[in-house]
Amino acid sequence: MSQADSPARRDGVGRPGPAPEAAFAAKGADGLGVSAPAVATAAHRTRAAKPPPHLADLAPEERDAWAESLGLPRMRARQAARHYFSRLERSASYMTDLPAAGRDQLVATLLPELLTEVARQTTDRGRTVKTLYRLCDSSAVETVLMAYPGRVTLCVSSQAGCGMACPFCATGKLGLKRNLTAAEMLEQVRLAARAAGAGALGEPARLSNVVFMGMGEPLANYRALERTLRGIAGGQAEGFGISARNVTVSTCGLIPGIDRLAGEGLPVRLALSLHAPDDETRDRLVPVNRRYGVAATLAAAHRYHLATGRRVSIEYALIRDINDQAWRASQLAERLCQYGTRWVHVNPIPLNPVEGSVWAASRPEAQDAFVRRLAQAGLTVTLRDTRGRDIDGACGQLAAKEVAK
Ligand code: SF4
């Protein structure tokens, strides 16, 4: 784009005095007249525990007012959003429609850096890439990018650590450090979409699916989750344009969150981490069950199905001699079939054992018997693969190692 037709030029022409953004550039991003490196240092010091505000934290209708509050023309927010969501870009050097003077500072303010990649591991013959990021408060989160026939799926984290304390889970052992912001979750998606497009999985590919199955309980971070879902599914510079139907929210069973999500008008898939059909075992494996119980949790999952028309995924980590007996599969089938067979899809998955844990993965013959029993009851069952097992594949394992350093 030439200088003559750039929006920068149009903004400035015919206006008395400097354009608001010129004043913004002269004053510094914080409006205090501090030079850019000093701003970054001061911001780092004062905001060590809190991520900086980011355009992607806001709903599209809030962004113009935010730009204005920073002394910028309203259209700057829309331009930055277009680069961020439509072009997956946050490098100022490619945003040539923004005025050259103060461009770096403007981009650093509207789209500040939130994640720093600290480790990347590839496995499954290049079809799985696990990335560890550090956040501004030095929390660690991870994503897993996976290539399947016909789709590319990203597993994202919604919290640093997790407060749900499931005893077999690496993330549960970390405890909850904090909720991620919407922008921190959306940035995981943007970086993965860029990596996939650049051939990180062997050849350039489009990110098509997102699952909230990384670190954290997404429904315990509801407001940010809702903004993130709209940021993933929105089109036209309002989001990344990934169909909500290709997005899965996985929960250990926070019923108020399930009901709220059912009313959002977003056809995302719900995955319920059930792991046991009876209260006694589930109380032990998923401590939040002591509050809600299996019957009420399944009832909420079924309400979700009725409200959205989407099949609910029942996630079931097969743990040797704990929850993997065939008679338990029959018990599970009975509980699910009380609502019929067409509202759920059961995904047993052999446990990815955490180093030093007493919990072990089921034996293959137990897995087969468990799956067979569910299928005999008329349920749709898929034994899930354990992608990334040889690279600390269980959720939170890579981050747990980083935290322990
Ligand atoms: S299994 Fe999920 S809900 Fe439970 S502690 Fe781990 S991350 Fe949290």
Each residue's pLDDT tens digit, 297-323: 999 999 999 999 999 999 999 999 999
Mean pLDDT along residues 247-251: 96
- d(Cα 301, Cα 9) in Å, to the nearest integer? 54
Q: Which residue has the higher pLDDT, 122 or 385?
A: 122
Whole-number pLDDT of residue 386: 67
CB 20 within 8 A of CB 82: no
> Does ligand 1 come within 6 angstroms of the Cβ of 399?
no
Q: Which residue has the higher pLDDT, 139 or 389?
A: 139
- State the average pLDDT for the chain: 86
pTM: 0.86
Q: Which residue has the higher pLDDT, 393 or 126?
A: 126
Q: State in Å: Cα 301 to ligand 1 middle.
A: 18
Nearest residue (by CA) to ligand 1, atom 7, is: 216
Ordered structural domains, the chain, with CATH: 7-110 (no CATH), 116-404 (3.20.20.70)
- d(Cα 134, Cα 399) in Å, to the nearest integer? 9
Each residue's pLDDT tens digit, 105-119: 999 999 999 999 999
Q: Strands 176-179 and 159-161: what pairing?
A: antiparallel
Task: Name the CA radius of gyration of the chain, rounded.
Answer: 23
Whole-number pLDDT of residue 325: 97
Each residue's pLDDT tens digit, 35-56: 333 333 333 434 456 899 999 9
User: Residue 161 forms beta bridges with which residues?
Assistant: 176
Residue 18 has pLDDT above 80, yes or no: no
| Ligand 1 probe mutation, 141, 169, 359, most atoms within 8 A of CB | 169
Each residue's pLDDT tens digit, 170-210: 888 889 999 999 999 999 999 999 999 999 999 999 999 99
Whole-number pLDDT of residue 20: 42
Residues 6+ apart with CB under 8 A from 61: none
Residue 123 has pLDDT above 80, yes or no: yes
Among the listed residues 21, 89, 136, 142, the single catalytic one is 142
> Does ligand 1 come within 6 angstroms of the Cβ of 171?
yes
Residue 336 has pLDDT above 90, yes or no: yes
Mean pLDDT along residues 138-153: 94
* Burial category of 51 from C-beta neighbours within 10 Å (exposed 0-12, middle 13-18, buried 19 and up): buried
Whole-number pLDDT of residue 353: 79
- d(Cα 35, Cα 17) in Å, to the nearest integer? 22
Whole-number pLDDT of residue 170: 85
Whole-number pLDDT of residue 86: 96
Find how far residue 393's CA is from the centre of its chain: 16
Whole-number pLDDT of residue 384: 82
CB 199 within 8 A of CB 209: no
Helix 103-110 to helix 36-46 angle (10° resolution) is 20
Whole-number pLDDT of residue 358: 85
Counting from 1 in the atom list of ligand 1, the atom nearest the Cα of 162 is 8
Residue 6 has pLDDT above 70, yes or no: no
Mean pLDDT along residues 9-20: 32
> Does ligand 1 come within 6 angstroms of the Cβ of 29?
no
Q: How confident is the model at residue 237 (pLDDT cuts 50, 70, 90)?
A: confident
Whole-number pLDDT of residue 357: 80
Whole-number pLDDT of residue 21: 53
Residue 124 has pLDDT above 70, yes or no: yes
Angle, alpha carbons 245-250-252 (nearest 5°): 150
> Does ligand 1 come within 6 angstroms of the Cβ of 219?
no
Catalytic (active site) residue 395: yes
Residue 139 has pLDDT above 50, yes or no: yes
Residues 6+ apart with CB under 8 A from 95: 79, 80, 83, 89, 103, 107
Q: DSSP of 281-328, one letter per residue?
A: HHHHHSTTHHHH-HHHHHHHHHHHHHHH-PPEEEEEEEBTTTT--HHH
Q: DSSP of 137-176, one letter per residue?
A: TS-EEEEEEEEETTEEEEE--SEEE-SS--TT-HHHHH-E
Each residue's pLDDT tens digit, 280-294: 999 999 999 999 999
Mean pLDDT along residues 72-95: 95
Residues of the chain with pLDDT > 70, as a percent, come to: 83
Q: State in Å: Cα 162 to ligand 1 middle.
A: 6
Residue 391 has pLDDT above 60, yes or no: no
Residue 252 has pLDDT above 60, yes or no: yes
Instruction: Average the pLDDT over each of 9-13, 62-66, 68-72, 111-115 and give the range with the smallest value.
Output: 9-13
Residues 6+ apart with CB under 8 A from 175: 161, 162, 163, 165
Residue 326 has pLDDT above 60, yes or no: yes
Whole-number pLDDT of residue 173: 86
- d(Cα 396, Cα 392) in Å, to the nearest integer? 8
